Structure 1
Amino acid sequence: MHTSILRNRVTRWGTAVLLAAVPAATAVPAQARPVSSALPATGQAALWSAGRLTVSGPVAKPQPIASVTKVMTAYRVLADHPLKPGEQGPMITVLASEVSAYHAARRNGESVIPVAAGEQISEHKALEAMLLPSANDMARILARWDAGSIDGFVARMNETAAQVGMDNTHYADPAGVNTATVSTAPDLLRLDQNAMANPVLAGVVGEKSAAVPVAGKVRNSNPLLGTDGFVGTKTGWTSAAGSCLMFAVRQGAGHDRDRLAYGVLLGQPGGPESGTIFMAARRMAAAARAGR
């Protein structure tokens, strides 16, 4: 797709969508540097630092991505309903059918957040409820509110993926539970950069905790946040996807403080409590700071 067409769409959708903001090389594994020892030998990984891409694993093979899916959900919601920093946005009414769906998802062992029929939650609070504790039910509520139906929203997710240049990505649901929702580390790296360019989305994934209606205080599922320069982005885990992580980390101090490196890890061993994936992310961040 030509850059001029992308720019026209950016203008039409507003400043929340920065479709042309990421260098094209992030989507082309063949242009990557040789595999660094800082990247894990398992699963697949990608690191973007100082204008250079490093990858490892089968990065051209799409695989399930679990809850990192919710970054695209938030990105698309903010494209359709842009917010400025500090704004709460329009109110969303939770439907009785969505409360029933919450209970069903909870019985199935999904990551969910309590909701109540008729509950009023702002767009910003809904994004916090989805992204911090990784609530699948809030992802579905946001999708229905944004597009009128979950299926309609998923179609929009795939449109956006194509426009961003995520050629090896397919979304089948807004939460990442469906194993047909697949992507690659380089594709998600491109999304990570675009998402963090949105100050509202970057602000939400940078919160350690937030207070939301009904559920009360929720905490960010990313233990790296606020340590060693990590400022986002999203965790994920399912038995099919393994441990997954998108992250953004500051390059250093001084003039480098505002320069970010971005990383993606997919299909890593260990469950969400093992910590293996977070140790891998720390090694990648250290390599980025060292310029390797």
Structure 2
Amino acid sequence: MRNGMAKRGISITLGTIVLIGVVGYGPATLLGPLPAPAVATLALPTPAAAVTPPALPTTGATAVAQTAAVLAHAGDTAALPISGAARLITALVVAQRYPLPEGPGQDITMTEQNYETYRERVDAGQSAVSLFPGDVWTQHSVLQAMLRGGSTAHADALATWAYGSIDGYLKAAQAWAKKEGLTSLVVTDAAGVDTGTQATASDLARITALAAADPGITAAFTEEPDTLAVQRGLTLPSPYLADTGIRVLYRGYTDQAGIILLFSQTVTTPAGPFSYASASLRSATWQTLETETRALVASAESGINSTADLATGTPLLTITTDWEQSVRGLSGETPAQPHWGSTAPTLRVEPGTITVPLAEGTPVGSVTITDDSQATGDRRIPLIADGALTEPDVLWRLTHPLPLLKALWEQLIP
């Protein structure tokens, strides 16, 4: 009797389990979550454009930069005397207080003190365009005398006009250097004759780029000299390597600083212009400087390009379901922009969260392009599904319980 009741209890229990299994099987397979698709990263392509880094000499100190970024540096990394290149800093610091977007700018009347300073500069054998008390110059004409004529007297006159005194100018110059992140720059004069005015080649290249981007300074270099400046003896230096298309902002030599060349250049690409500046200090000889400069310009013409680092539509992911559907993740459009890198860019693929159903054109991840040019920075490009993923049919669900139950289990117990 008892054995019969026990058998009956076991039968009821087993029946209940079977019933629960049968009842639960349908909802679990027909209504339960689907297993996540398998995602695989494909082999990364090689860069679309060849890399030609800036060709820099190993002697002296040379750097290539844009206004906010150093693109390359070679040679001595210490701060060095910058001689007459300091006059570019004078122009930039004064432009901070008195911008010169166009036209002649404000009038600057020369004083007795300006004339005395001029006489002192001449007596010391320093370069100076003549000036006299009562002369009325403009900002534009003073910039021309200072930057193209190398006039130390006009650098002093411009600095004292803008900031009241040389000391006032020096305080403003150091504040400007801090604001621009020029950590090596030390300014001890406006005229560029004090060896205490120093900077690294990297900072000096950025200063050159900032000067080349300033409209008032650009006008001083590109427009015809003002009449008063010519009357007072302004003579323009001979063009330097005119066939290369560079714009020289300073070229000079002193025993203390050696040979210095600052220039800018703009290279045209299909995506627009790319401007850079170069600072070269302490080349061995003038002939060496010419050879080095031509090599750098040639590398710019080869290395600056706007070819996309990754062609649009490059397959970087495969996404496959258990029911044998598959799509690819294709790279979206990479914005074309001019750049000049020293090494090939790197690609990093990051799959996103992918659920089914998945419509064609849905983002399924991203690829990050890292470029050492610094001018472009990291760029994140979306990966787009090139097809759709649909849910499996009822037959597949009923005949594939294990992956469905596993998906349900993972959902209930993460």
Q: Which residue of 2 aligns with 1:183?
A: 199
Instruction: State the distance in 2 between where 1:260 and 1:219 align.
Output: 28
Which of 62, 71, 85 is equivalent to 1:68? 85
1:184 deviates by 0.7
Between the aligned partners of 1:46 and 1:237, the Cα distance in structure 2 is 18
AA aligned to 1:113 is V
Which of 118, 131, 135 in structure 2 is aligned with 1:119?
135
Q: TM-score, normalised by structure 2?
A: 0.56
CA distance in 1, matches of 2:122, 2:105: 28
Give the Cα–Cα distance (whole angstroms) in 1 for the partners of residues 61 and 70 of structure 2.
17
Does residue 261 in structure 1 map to residue 276 in structure 2? yes
Equivalent pair of 2:100/2:215 in contact (CA under 8 Å): no
Aligned counterpart, 2:255: 239
C-alpha distance in 2 between matches for 1:204 and 1:225: 19
User: What is the aligned counterpart of 1:77 among 83, 91, 94?
Assistant: 94
Q: Quick one: which of 47, 68, 74 aligns to 1:56?
A: 74
**CA distance, structure 1, for counterparts of residue 142 and residue 294 of structure 2:** 29
Q: Which runs of 5+ in 1 are unaligned?
A: 1-35
Alignment partner of 1:161 is 2:177: yes
Query: In the alignment, residue 280 of structure 1 is paired with which amino acid?
Result: E
Aligned to 1:4: none
Q: CA deviation at 1:170?
A: 0.2
For residues 234-262 of structure 1, the C-alpha deviation after alignment (integer angstroms, 9 at most, x for no partner) is: 2232210011121101224x647732221
> Quick check: 38-47 or 223-232, which moved more?
223-232
Contact 1:205 1:234 in 2 (8 A): no
Structure 2 residue 297 is the aligned partner of structure 1 residue 285: yes
**2:11 matched residue in structure 1:** none
Q: Secondary structure at the match of 1:171?
A: coil
Question: Which secondary structure does the structure 2 equivalent of 1:221 belong to?
Answer: coil
Aligned-residue CA RMSD (Å): 2.5
| C-alpha deviation, 1:215, in angstroms | 4.3
1:14-42 Cα shifts (integer Å, max 9, x gaps): xxxxxxxxxxxxxxxxxxxxxx7832232
SS at match of 1:157: helix
- The SS at the match of 2:282 is strand
Q: Which moved more, 1:130-139 or 1:256-265?
A: 256-265
Task: Spell out the pairing of 1:174-253 with structure 2 (5 A cutoff).
Answer: 174-207=190-223, 210-213=225-228, 215-216=230-231, 218-221=234-237, 223-224=239-240, 226-252=242-268
User: After TM superposition, where is structure 1 displaced by more than 6 Å over at least 4 residues in a row?
Assistant: none
**Contact 2:83–2:193 at 8 Å: present in 1 too?**
yes
Q: Do the aligned partners of residues 175 and 269 (structure 1) sit closer, same or farther apart at CA in structure 2, a change above 3 Å counting? A: farther
CA distance in 1, matches of 2:135, 2:192: 24
Question: Residues 91 and 121 of structure 1 are in contact (CA less than 8 Å); yes or no, is this contact kept in structure 2?
Answer: yes
Q: Summarize deviations over 1:132-182 as a string: whole Å, max 9, x none.
A: 111111000001100000111011111111111110110000111000000
1:41 and 2:70 aligned: no
Say if 2:116 is the partner of 1:104.
no
**Farther-moved stretch of structure 1 (37-46 vs 104-113):** 37-46
Cα distance in 2, alignment partners of residues 237 and 78 from structure 1: 26
CA contact (8 A) 1:249 1:260 kept: yes
Gaps in structure 2 of 5+ consecutive residues: 1-52, 304-341, 343-414
CA displacement at 1:92 relative to structure 2: 0.7
Distance 1:170 1:279, change over 3 A: same
Instruction: Please state how far the C-alpha of 1:214 moved relative to its aligned partner.
Output: 5.5
Number of equivalenced pairs = 250
Classify the secondary structure of the residue corresponding to 1:268: coil
Question: 1:206 touches 1:225 (CA, 8 Å); kept in 2?
Answer: no
Kindly indicate whether the alpha-carbon contact (under 8 Å) linking 2:93 and 2:176 is maintained by their aligned counterparts in 1. yes
CA distance in 2, matches of 1:100, 1:76: 24
